[in-house]
Amino acid sequence: MMNAKLGCLLAGALVFCGMAHAAGDAQRGQTIVMQGDGSGAPCLACHGLDGAGNDAAGFPRLAGLDAGYLEKQMQDYRTGTRQSAIMAPNVDNLDDQQIADVAAWYASQTAAVPPLPDADSELMAHGERLATRGDWDSYVVPCETCHGPGSEGVGSAFPRLAGQHAGYIKQQLQAWKSGARSNDPDQLMLAIAARLSDEQIEAVATYLARQPMQGDL
């Protein structure tokens, strides 16, 4: 089971974990995932108990994401640093410990990425180029430079992208471009997202969604 602390150790840089937080308890987290925060919908209604999410509905996959990353996102929804009319009312009653517990639950989930229909091979090749080599002439650095080998995520600042739903990746990149999302550290994601064309966003989302989870979760 990967809890926040272990995730930090694996990343090899404790700085990712600078946020003061209690260690999450996945078992307690499971209960919250099933029951919700008391006023909103339970997490599993949209993200599933196993964190698989739902591409068609725009709900991200949470399974296997770094606990520190998940924790920060929920805290940001609660404070409004990350805005979502759906998420805000569903986490606003959770305290720090409960948020850590939910994060620990989803971080420990290993739901397989369901097979997707084959995508256009040129689109996939374009997406692979962006993820692994970038487009330096437009100062678009490769996803892997920060999100790590196989875009499997690095610490709490750079979440796993491999296996994330294409719709969600597109929606978030567009959110950075439009200014709707701005809770990335040091505007590192905004810098890149703002330079991506719609075609590049389509390509990289298509590619990343079809990457397996190879990590030893």
Partner 1 sequence: MPRRLTPVLVTTLLGSGIAQAQTDVPVQLPAFKEGQYVHEAPTVDDLMQDESINPELRKVILRGRDMFINTQQFRDEYVFNDLNCKNCHMGEGRLNWSGPVWPAATTLPDFRGKNQHVNSLEERIAGCFSFSMNGKPPEYGSDDMLALAAYHQWLAKKAPVYETNIGGRGFSHLGREMPAETSYEGGEQVYREHCARCHGTDGQGVRLSEQTVFPPLWGDGSYNWGAGMTRVFTAASFIKNNMPLGKPGSLSDQQAWDVALFINSHERPQDPRYTGDARETREKFNNFHKFTMYGTEFNGQVLGQHDNTGTKPFLKPDALRPRSFE
Sole binder of partner 1 in the list 154, 161, 162, 213 (CB under 8 A): 154
**What is the rounded CA–CA span in Å between residue 45 and residue 42?**
6
**What is the rounded CA–CA span in Å between residue 151 and residue 137?**
21
Q: Report the candidate in 213, 146, 137 with the shortest Cα–Cα distance to residue 184.
A: 146
Question: Which residues lie across from 158 on neighbouring strands?
Answer: 154
**CA distance between the termini of the chain:** 7
Sole binder of partner 1 in the list 14, 19, 57, 86 (CB under 8 A): 14
Output 5 or 177, the one with its CB closest to partner 1: 177
Output 110 or 197, the one with its CB closest to partner 1: 197
**What is the rounded CA–CA span in Å between residue 165 and residue 93?**
27
Q: Report the candidate in 214, 210, 4, 216 with the shortest Cα–Cα distance to residue 107.
A: 4
Which span (81-89, 106-114, 165-173, 183-191) binds partner 1, by CB under 8 A?
183-191
Tokens 């986490």, residue located: 91
Output 53 or 155, the one with its CB closest to partner 1: 155
CB of 137 to partner 1, least distance (A): 4
CB of 44 to partner 1, least distance (A): 30
Instruction: By CB under 8 A, tell whether 25 contacts partner 1.
Output: no
CB of 213 to partner 1, least distance (A): 13
Give the residue numbers of the binding site for heme c: 43, 46-47, 87, 143, 146-147, 189
